[in-house]
Amino acid sequence: MRIVLLGCPGAGKGTQSKILSERYGFPHIATGDLFRAEITAGSVLGLQVAGYLKSGTLVPDAVVVEMVAGKLQGCPDGFLLDGFPRTLEQAQALDKLLRQEGSQIDMVMHLHMREEEVVRRLTGRRSCSSCGALYNVVSHLPRVDGKCDHCGADLIQRDDDGSAIVRKRLMVYEDLTRPLVAYYRAANVFRELDGGRPVEEVTLALMAVIDGARVRS
């Protein structure tokens, strides 16, 4: 299946995508993670995009689309997109790329959340500096303070999870990404889910949608 997980920063796209891609074996393509890996590696692309990530603004469409196009070539049987598309131009470019190979997006699932809850979640978010596992100082504490449950490495806060940048990222989402809800609703591949519920409940709701679509196809 070709799935897009849509939602504002902090709605749980990363957490849920990791769970779903393990459960179903879908390749997980997370553009934010890919950019952060390039920045850490000090690559040309990493240097090119670092300023955008730091300021909470979007990387130019052409740069993102080129990176995603390369990744999609390795996924002929489907994928789970997390953090892409984020603009109408990206959505149209994705449709075009898929049309060229005779396929299309099968499903878009939108995790919606209230803004205050999003800010609380994002500013409390921590991730493992080694394996990337996600935690939250409010809702999902590690067993040992500041250390990853899985590998024991230090937990860190993302550079762009401070409150000023979080608010900037939410404004960018409202302006540029929210219009995708109408775009995909019109394409009839759209499902809306409450991202504010506990992680396990959201996972079950997403799985019900995916399993239902698989039975029908």
Minimal CB distance residue for ligand AMP:
32
- Active-site positions? 13, 86, 125, 158, 169
- Among the listed residues 84, 135, 184, 190, the single contact to ligand AMP using CB under 6 A: 84
Strand order in the sheet with 134-136: 134-136, 125-128, 155-156
- Among the listed residues 56, 80, 155, 170, the single contact to ligand AMP using CB under 6 A: 56
9 binds ligand AMP (CB under 6 A): yes
Q: Which is nearer to ligand AMP, 86 or 191 (CB)?
A: 86
- The residues with which 127 forms a beta bridge, in sequence order, are 134, 156
Say if residue 22 is exposed, middle or buried (CB neighbours under 10 Å; 0-12, 13-18, 19+).
Answer: exposed
- Among the listed residues 4, 5, 64, 93, the single contact to ligand AMP using CB under 6 A: 64
Q: Three-state SS for 89?
A: helix
184 binds ligand AMP (CB under 6 A): no
Which of the stretches 29-37, 101-109, 131-139, 191-199 binds ligand AMP when contact is defined by CB under 6 A? 29-37
Rounded distance, CA 96 to CA 203, Å?
A: 30
Q: Which is nearer to ligand AMP, 3 or 58 (CB)?
A: 58
CB neighbourhood size of 75 (10 A): 15
169 binds ligand AMP (CB under 6 A): yes
Which of the stretches 81-89, 96-104, 127-135, 184-192 binds ligand AMP when contact is defined by CB under 6 A? 81-89
Here's the x/- map for ligand AMP, 196-215, by CB under 6 A: it reads as --------------------
Which CB contacts under 8 angstroms, 24+ apart, belong to 90-98?
A: 90/61, 90/64, 90/65, 91/180, 91/183, 91/184, 93/61, 93/65, 94/65, 94/68, 97/65, 97/68, 97/69, 97/72, 98/2, 98/72
- By the criterion CB under 6 A, which residues form the site for ligand AMP? 9, 31-32, 35, 52-53, 56-59, 64, 83-84, 86, 90, 160, 169
